[in-house]
Amino acid sequence: MAEDSDSQGVTDSPKKGPTLSTSTSSFEALDPHDPNLSRLATLMFQKTGDYLWGELTTTQEDYRLLEAMNRATITKYSDMKQIASNVGKTLLELNEKYSSLQPYLEQIDQIEESVVKLEQAAYKLDAYSKRLEAKFKNLEKR
């Protein structure tokens, strides 16, 4: 009987008939089966395993990338927090300095107002002296 199966190729199972049946219930572990089918099934399982391994590896790499990005973001926000804190401190110091200079700035404003008034008075005095000079020359000519 083994000779019959060899002469026919390995397309028929001695107990169940052709091995290319799509029914899984007719498969028996000890039955001879198609080596080509076995090779293709093994190859399919290897390829499926490789695909699933690649999917899992890709997902793992994605999570590693996200983790690295999160670490970089944490570092960046920490740096920004430090910079904002320094800017806040500097702003407080500048406000304190401005407050301490405020009386001097008010004095400067008062001096500027006085200078403007003096300048206006000087222009008026200059105009008056020119009128007087013109009158004097006019009287001298007579």
Reported as a single tens digit per residue, the pLDDT across 37-53 is 989 999 999 999 999 99
Query: pLDDT of 100-140, one tens digit each?
Result: 999 999 999 999 999 999 999 999 999 999 999 999 888 88
* CA dihedral over 61, 66, 69, 75, signed as positive or negative: negative
Confidence at 7, pLDDT banded by 50, 70, 90: very low
Phi, psi values for residue 32, rounded to 5°: -65, 150
Report the pLDDT value the prediction gives residue 26, as an integer from 0 to 100: 53
Do 11 and 18 meet the contact criterion of CB atoms below 8 Å apart? yes
- How confident is the model over 21-47, as a mean pLDDT? 74
At 53-99, the pLDDT tens digits run: 999 999 999 999 999 999 999 999 999 999 999 999 999 999 999 99
Per-residue pLDDT at 22 exceeds 80: no
| pLDDT at 27 (0 to 100) | 53
Q: Which residue has the higher pLDDT, 16 or 43?
A: 43
